[in-house]
């Protein structure tokens, strides 16, 4: 029966009536909507950093991931041209950064794959087939039919299209998860860059401290050589005895023996810098006329919320938590029917000359409904797995925040306590230098034995080495503080 205009109008009206319901269904997505859990669970987040007299840090506010914001070339605060050169080399050549960039590109491609499910999938399937039918065709009772035992060609030019109607939000949850993973990958890239930048700066300052220590030992050995010669002259004059000469020689040899150990540390640190800068350790060297920085900038500490926004590792953990939450929705969508709209069409003929004639057309259209009637508990297991993965992501996020607070507090304490230790060691060094001067004068006057001079020399060298090491440690600790704050912009206070 042909459809009348009245019937066609009724069908159109029914379609229009069903459209709003379809849109409502397509607008919802099963599974929990993402809400960021508290950073420290039931514990209260402190309003300010520091148990080392850090005050007026500001108030807590809700944090939003912002690790991908440009942090700037924070290392320029040290005003060291050689450090700037090394950081530029690392930014261009470090292979860990290359890997992180590749992972970022992979995550971006995965997001595009997920987004492609929003659109119909269309495929073309042209084919040419030569075939022979059976002469014993049981489906045909007429054994003399020409269709039996016949060889012929089949030409086919066709295509098909399918589109999943996202009633339950499965595709949207997949895309939501991929987008969160993509953002986490971007923050991983920033975290890798920040880590490499901090390692370059820390190794550089460590190398400069070792240079100073080697220079100190060389100068001290030269002074001990002079003292040995003086003692030998006094021995020849009968003023000193052989024991004084032996003690002076022992002191010199013990000091000279420390120089190779320090030089080994210098070589190893330089080789580590070469790898960070993407250079061969064999040919890598610092600029010969460069001078190590002694500039220690004052680093303003942001409030905890701003810090949480800038630390890339915390932001990455938060985005992975969002991705895990979306995966719960994907697992829940597996319990619902999956509706796919299918269509195919084209031309088929046993003769190439008539392939595109109108009678050669073929087509098919219709929906496919996939009903999960029995899966042996697979869907329930996948949902339980997704929920467990989300809880693990929450725990990882909170652990990252706790570790971050520890990092900041450790480095804040280091800023204060290393400064105090350096001041005390500098005073002790000055006292040791004065003690050595008095011991040398008393020895020359014959009042003291040379053993007292040796003791004073050892104490002065020990304090001098400690001062050099503490200066390097303070610079390295300032780098660690910048890193723990997520590479936040810092300024040098006059």
Question: Is 208 part of a structural domain of the chain?
Answer: yes
Check: CB of residue 450 under 8 Å from CB of residue 247.
yes
Domain range for 301: 30-120+168-337+378-484
pLDDT at position 11 is 39
Provide the 10 A C-beta neighbour count for residue 119: 8
Give how many domains the chain has, as a whole number.
Answer: 1
Question: Is 11 part of a structural domain of the chain?
Answer: no
- Residue 33 buriedness (CB in 10 A; 0-12 / 13-18 / 19+): exposed
Question: Is 233 part of a structural domain of the chain?
Answer: yes
Three-class secondary structure of residue 164 per DSSP: strand
pLDDT at position 194 is 93
- Residue 92 buriedness (CB in 10 A; 0-12 / 13-18 / 19+): exposed
What CATH number does the domain containing 464 carry?
Answer: 1.20.1600.10
pLDDT at position 136 is 74
Helices within 45-94 (DSSP H only): 81-93
Question: Is 349 part of a structural domain of the chain?
Answer: no
Which residues of the chain, if any, have pLDDT below 70?
A: 1-28, 41-45, 47, 50-71, 137-149, 288-295, 300-303, 305, 307, 488-494
Question: Is 277 part of a structural domain of the chain?
Answer: yes
| Residue 340, phi then psi, degrees to nearest 5 | -125, 130
Task: Encode pLDDT of 103-121 as tens digits.
Answer: 999 999 999 999 898 888 8
Determine how β-strand 151-165 pairs with β-strand 127-132. antiparallel
CB contact burial 334-346 (16+ within 10 A = b; e otherwise): bebebbeeebbeb
- Residue whose pair of structure tokens reads 């206070």 in the numeric block: 493
Please compute, for residue 177, the number of CA atoms within 13 A of its CA located in the half-sphere on the CB side: 22
Question: Is 274 part of a structural domain of the chain?
Answer: yes
Question: Is 1 part of a structural domain of the chain?
Answer: no
Question: Is 156 part of a structural domain of the chain?
Answer: no
């Amino acid at each position: 029966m042909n459809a009348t205009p009245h019937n066609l109008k009724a069908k159109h009206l029914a379609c229009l009536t069903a459209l709003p319901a379809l849109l409502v269904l397509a607008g919802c997505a099963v599974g929990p909507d993402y809400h960021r859990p508290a950073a420290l669970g039931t514990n209260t987040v402190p309003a300010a950093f520091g148990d080392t007299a850090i005050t007026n840090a500001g108030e807590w506010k809700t944090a939003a991931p912002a690790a991908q914001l440009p942090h700037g070339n924070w290392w320029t605060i040290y005003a060291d041209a050689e450090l700037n050169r090394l950081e530029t080399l690392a930014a261009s050549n470090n292979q860990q950064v290359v890997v992180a960039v590749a992972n970022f590109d992979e995550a971006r491609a995965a997001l595009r794959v997920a987004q492609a499910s929003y659109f119909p999938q269309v495929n073309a399937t042209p084919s040419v087939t030569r075939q022979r039918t059976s002469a014993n065709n049981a489906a045909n009772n007429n054994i003399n039919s020409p269709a039996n035992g016949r060889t012929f060609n089949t030409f086919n030019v066709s295509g098909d299209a399918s589109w999943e109607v996202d009633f339950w939000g499965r595709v949207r949850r997949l895309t939501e998860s991929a987008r969160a993973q993509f953002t986490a990958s971007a923050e991983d890239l920033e975290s890798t860059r920040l880590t490499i930048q901090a390692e370059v700066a820390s190794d550089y300052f460590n190398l400069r401290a070792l240079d100073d220590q080697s220079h100190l030992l060389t100068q001290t050995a030269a002074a001990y050589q002079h003292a040995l010669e003086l003692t030998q002259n006094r021995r020849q004059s009968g003023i000193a005895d052989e024991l004084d000469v032996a003690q002076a020689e022992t002191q010199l040899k013990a000091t000279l023996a420390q120089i190779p150990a320090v030089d080994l540390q210098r070589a190893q640190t330089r080789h580590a810098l070469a790898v960070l800068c993407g250079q061969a350790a064999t040919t890598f060297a610092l600029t010969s006329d460069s001078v190590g920085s002694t500039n220690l900038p004052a680093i303003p500490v942001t409030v905890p919320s701003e810090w949480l926004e800038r630390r890339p590792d915390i932001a990455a953990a938060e985005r992975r938590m969002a991705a895990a939450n979306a995966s719960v929705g994907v697992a829940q969508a597996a319990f619902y029917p999956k509706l796919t709209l299918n269509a195919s069409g084209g031309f088929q003929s046993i003769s190439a000359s008539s392939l595109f004639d109108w009678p050669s057309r073929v087509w098919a259209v219709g929906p496919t409904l996939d009903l999960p009637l029995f899966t042996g508990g697979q869907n329930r297991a996948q949902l339980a797995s997704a929920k467990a993965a989300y809880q693990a992501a929450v725990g990882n996020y909170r652990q990252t925040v706790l570790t971050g607070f520890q990092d900041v507090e450790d480095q804040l304490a280091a800023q204060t306590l290393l400064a105090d230790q350096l001041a005390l060691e500098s005073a002790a060094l000055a006292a040791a230098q004065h003690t050595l001067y008095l011991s040398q004068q008393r020895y020359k006057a014959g009042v003291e034995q040379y053993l007292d001079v040796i003791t004073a020399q050892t104490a002065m060298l020990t304090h001098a080495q400690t001062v050099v090491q503490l200066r390097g440690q303070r610079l390295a600790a300032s780098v660690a503080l910048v890193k723990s704050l997520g590479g936040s912009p810092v300024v040098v206070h006059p």
